[in-house]
């Protein structure tokens, strides 16, 4: 297979707020996408794949009720897939487009759906997103929410479909779908080696990971059912939604990754360079802060900034860390909260200036940037970790055996090498240390719960 270029399309979007706007706004959005593809096609030359963003055709209008989301959703195929098909044929490319989908077999529901269209203009893959925030009325149905009926209608292969093409085997994951499986799958052969037993990875979809955590919480504590999960973001959803499990009661096995701290960033040419500058600006106006959604780590950082640092701030949620960062670059907002992964390349390109961190210590990517803890706000620092939990009341000997095997797997030089290539920041920590991290996260979120809820109203 010869090398080829793929392009990612990030364009301004006409947001569909009312049903009567749907067709005209989607047509406008597709014209913009087509124009950008044409520009890149003629500039680069060997474009074979073009990928558009989540909500790029409809826009993410959060005040919609669930009924309104369903009303503006479309069956697939539709007039928009036909228009995207024309674009795919025109440039002879594979084109990835995103939809809100209504399906006759699932009345009263809608899916967050992505399609791949081939150079003939035909839909060759349809993928329905599994994991999402399930807040602020982004209440789309994931396959795990209607699992048995989903399998009956679409077949098991529709859970994670792939299509073989002349440019390779293509598949789709959207936003929160990529949150955890990569670490688990990377660890799998090494954990199997040190346990001397097969390890099966199952991506349990639904409700942003709550379905999977609930399954493990209720499982027999025999060591055969575990979950790879993070803190603090899942703790927020636990406290907000009462999903039937408590992470504090589960058996900690081992922490694996961490260190992707949240930071504050402003446009690179902004006069704002310090926390004091932000405080002074806050005396003059409400500071607009972008972040990647509601109920996640970026949102927690914002709430801590408002409640603990006492800044005069207003939160503007976006659908991803990239979009939140682009909002500050384009000066739609005054600053952004986001992770090292989102901000580091943009800081290197001198498109943003990172001015303060929420981590317990400075990150290697931003050694010159002070933390809020250093600046005197001791209750503001938090890490973002990913570790393994088991069901409550797991026998000590089983838990110890799992901890020992996981520690050896994480320390294996081959695993460390793969983790580095994959940009996993390893932060190994014992079961006892992981328990402390979970309890500290629980305490922080519990304390901030009224403010977290207030921001979701």
Separation of alpha carbons 185 and 329, rounded Å: 35
Confidence at residue 457, expressed as pLDDT on a 0 to 100 scale: 55
Closest by Cα among 65, 54, 236 to 138? 65
* pLDDT (tens digit per residue) in 413-431: 999 988 887 777 899 999 9
DSSP letter (8 states) at residue 319: S
Confidence at residue 390, expressed as pLDDT on a 0 to 100 scale: 97
The total of other beta-carbon atoms located within 10 Å of residue 279's CB is: 14
Closest by Cα among 147, 166, 167, 169 to 158? 147
Separation of alpha carbons 312 and 28, rounded Å: 37
Question: Which neighbouring-strand residues pair with 184?
Answer: none
Separation of alpha carbons 356 and 343, rounded Å: 12
Helix (H) or strand (E) holding 396: helix 396-411
DSSP letter (8 states) at residue 11: -
Per-residue tokens: 452: 């977290």
Confidence at residue 201, expressed as pLDDT on a 0 to 100 scale: 77
Confidence at residue 182, expressed as pLDDT on a 0 to 100 scale: 65
Q: Which residues of the chain have pLDDT under 70?
A: 1, 62, 132-138, 176-182, 203, 205-208, 455-457
CA dist 54 → 101, 174, 441, 454 (Å): 13, 7, 30, 27
Sign of the torsion formed by the C-alpha atoms of 401, 407, 413 and 415: positive
Separation of alpha carbons 345 and 186, rounded Å: 24
Per-residue tokens: 185: 């799958």
Confidence at residue 13, expressed as pLDDT on a 0 to 100 scale: 87
The beta-strand segments (E) located in 384-437 are 385-390, 426-429
Separation of alpha carbons 257 and 249, rounded Å: 21
Confidence at residue 207, expressed as pLDDT on a 0 to 100 scale: 62
Strands 168-171 and 162-165, sheet pairing: antiparallel
State the pTM of this model: 0.65
Confidence at residue 174, expressed as pLDDT on a 0 to 100 scale: 85
Separation of alpha carbons 290 and 335, rounded Å: 6
Separation of alpha carbons 18 and 26, rounded Å: 12
Q: Is 389:247 a contact under the CB 8 Å cutoff? A: yes
Confidence at residue 206, expressed as pLDDT on a 0 to 100 scale: 59
Per-residue tokens: 337: 């909260």
Q: Is 80:57 a contact under the CB 8 Å cutoff? A: yes
* pLDDT (tens digit per residue) in 72-88: 999 999 999 999 999 99
Confidence at residue 208, expressed as pLDDT on a 0 to 100 scale: 65
Q: Is 169:163 a contact under the CB 8 Å cutoff? A: yes
Q: For residue 354, what are the contacts with CB-CB under 8 A and spacing of at least 6? A: 263, 264, 265, 343, 347, 366, 369
DSSP letter (8 states) at residue 402: H
Sign of the torsion formed by the C-alpha atoms of 382, 387, 390 and 391: positive
Question: Which neighbouring-strand residues pair with 123?
Answer: 117
């Amino acid at each position: 297979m010869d090398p080829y270029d793929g392009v990612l399309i990030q364009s301004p979007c006409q947001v569909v707020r009312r049903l009567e706007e749907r067709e005209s706004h989607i047509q406008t959005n597709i014209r913009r996408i087509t124009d950008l593809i044409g520009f890149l096609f003629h500039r680069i030359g060997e474009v074979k794949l073009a990928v558009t963003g989540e909500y790029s055709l409809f826009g993410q209008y959060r005040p919609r009720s669930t009924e309104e989301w369903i009303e503006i959703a479309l069956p697939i195929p539709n007039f928009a897939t036909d228009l995207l098909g024309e674009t795919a044929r025109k440039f002879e490319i594979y084109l990835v487009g995103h939809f809100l989908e209504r399906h006759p077999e699932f009345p009263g529901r809608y899916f967050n759906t992505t399609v791949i269209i081939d150079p003939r203009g035909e839909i060759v893959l349809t993928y329905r997103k599994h994991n999402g925030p399930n807040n602020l009325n982004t209440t789309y149905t994931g396959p795990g929410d209607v699992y048995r009926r989903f399998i009956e209608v679409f077949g098991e292969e529709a859970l994670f479909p792939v299509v073989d093409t002349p440019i390779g085997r293509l598949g789709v994951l959207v936003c929160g779908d990529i949150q955890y499986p990569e670490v688990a799958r990377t660890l799998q052969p090494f954990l199997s080696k040190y346990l001397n037993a097969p390890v099966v990875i199952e991506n349990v979809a639904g409700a942003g990971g709550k379905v999977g955590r609930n399954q493990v919480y209720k499982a027999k504590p025999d060591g055969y059912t575990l979950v790879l999960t993070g803190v603090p973001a899942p703790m927020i959803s636990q406290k907000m939604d009462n999903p039937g499990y408590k992470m504090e009661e589960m058996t900690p096995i081992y922490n694996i990754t961490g260190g992707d701290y949240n930071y504050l960033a402003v446009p690179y040419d902004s006069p704002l360079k310090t926390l004091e500058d932000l405080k002074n600006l806050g005396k003059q106006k409400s500071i607009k802060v972008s972040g990647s959604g509601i109920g996640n780590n970026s949102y927690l950082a914002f709430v801590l900034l408002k409640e603990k640092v006492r800044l005069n701030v207003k939160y503007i949620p976006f659908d991803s860390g990239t979009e939140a960062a682009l909002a500050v670059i384009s000066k739609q907002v005054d600053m952004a909260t986001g992770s090292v992964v989102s901000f580091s390349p943009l800081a290197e390109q001198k498109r943003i200036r990172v001015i303060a961190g929420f981590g317990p210590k400075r990150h290697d990517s931003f050694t010159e940037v002070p933390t809020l803890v250093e600046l005197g706000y001791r209750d503001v620092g938090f890490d973002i970790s990913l570790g393994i939990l088991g069901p409550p009341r797991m026998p000590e000997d089983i838990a110890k055996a799992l901890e020992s095997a996981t520690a050896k797997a994480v320390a294996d030089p081959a695993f460390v090498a793969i983790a580095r290539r994959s940009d996993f920041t390893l932060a190994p920590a014992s079961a006892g240390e992981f328990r402390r991290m979970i309890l500290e996260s629980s305490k922080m979120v519990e304390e901030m719960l009224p403010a977290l809820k207030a921001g979701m109203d």
